Amino acid sequence: METSEKDLKELVKQKYSEIALQDKEKNQASCCGSGCCSTEVYDIMSDDYSTLEGYNPDADLGLGCGLPTQFAQIKPGDVVIDLGSGAGNDCFVARSQTGETGKVIGIDFSETMLEKARTNAEKLKLNNVEFRYGDIEKIPVSASVADVLVSNCVLNLVPNKKNVIAEIFRVLKANGHFSISDIVLIGELPDTLQKAAEMYVGCVSGAIQKDEYLSLIKQAGFESITVQKEKKITIPADILTAYLSAEEIEAFENSGTGIHSVTVFARKPSCCTPGSGCC
């Protein structure tokens, strides 16, 4: 029986609440903290944040697949929204760029993650970083609030990506922009990977085709769409064997199918369709 969007969201929420209690090393040795840990490769997807200003080790759970805040062109005084803010990693990096005159709003639907993020913010004594509970398909922020929006390896976890992209458009100011790191596909994954719930939570089987992903962004009304960074993700054989036979693994590896991390930039037009809230 096909899993409903509601059930998938609950699965993701439950899993990421568990992940909040794991250490970074365990999360990095798996697909976005999915728990399908690899003995072969350390740090399957996440990039190294440690050189970025504002980095806080307590907020880094090793769950990302890029460095969106590095590419987000955040300026002093900007209002920044982070979708799927987790323990606050990207929020604290963004805060170092917005400075005291800006504001950073992190959105997450795991209370455990929010509690961790708020604790980290209190330790850092930051009074302009706020963490809100919410579903990113209905962002708990008014229209035309943000100068910049970032997100790291989160949209792939959402069944209805079109809704999320529409919400991103709504909350950005006219001429505001986003920089989002995510997992996309080139070619089709084997059915067993697509349908495996653990791999869904682990960022891979919830991903869509790269061309479709970029098309959804364009259809939402964004312009200046640019792939700022792209890298191919290799899933170690000891993870694949949990889902595929030896013959299926060989066929998959020879198929040309690619799992990629992309960081995409796009801008909301300075004036757009009347009634959309940006004119």
* Amino acid at site 161: K
Is residue 69 within 8 Å of 179, Cβ to Cβ? yes
Between CA 136 and CA 247 the distance in angstroms is 39
Whether residue 233 is predicted with pLDDT greater than 80 in this model: the reply is yes
Q: What is the pLDDT of residues 116-138, one digit of tens each?
A: 999 999 999 999 999 999 999 99
What are the boundaries of each domain within the chain? 5-261
- Torsion sign over Cα 270, 75, 162, 183: positive
What pLDDT is recorded for position 254? 85
pLDDT band at 12 (very low <50, low <70, confident <90, very high): low
Phi, psi of 233 (to 5 degrees): -100, 130
What residues have CB less than 8 Å from 154, skipping those under 6 apart?
83, 84, 136, 182
Summarised one tens digit per residue, pLDDT across range 160-175 is: 999 999 999 999 999 9
Given this model, what pLDDT does residue 248 score? Answer: 86
Q: Percent of the chain beyond pLDDT 90?
A: 50
Identify which of 94, 80, 208, 205 has the alpha carbon closest to the alpha carbon of residue 149: 80
Among candidate residues 34, 33, 42, the one with its CA nearest the CA of residue 89: 33
Question: Residue 18: in which H helix or E strand, if any?
Answer: helix 5-19
Percent of the chain surpassing pLDDT 70: 77
Please give the Cα distance from 144 to 261 (Å, whole number).
28
Question: What topology is assigned to 5-261 in CATH?
Answer: Rossmann fold (3.40.50)
Which range of 119-123, 194-198, 200-204 scores highest in mean pLDDT? It is 119-123
**Which pLDDT does position 19 carry in this prediction?**
60
What average pLDDT does this structure show over 235-252?
82
Tell me what pLDDT residue 144 has: 97
Q: Would you say residue 52 has pLDDT above 70?
A: yes
Q: 123: Cβ–Cβ under 8 A, 6 or more apart, which residues?
A: 58
pLDDT band for position 29 (cuts 50, 70, 90): very low
∠ CA 48-156-42, rounded to 5°: 35
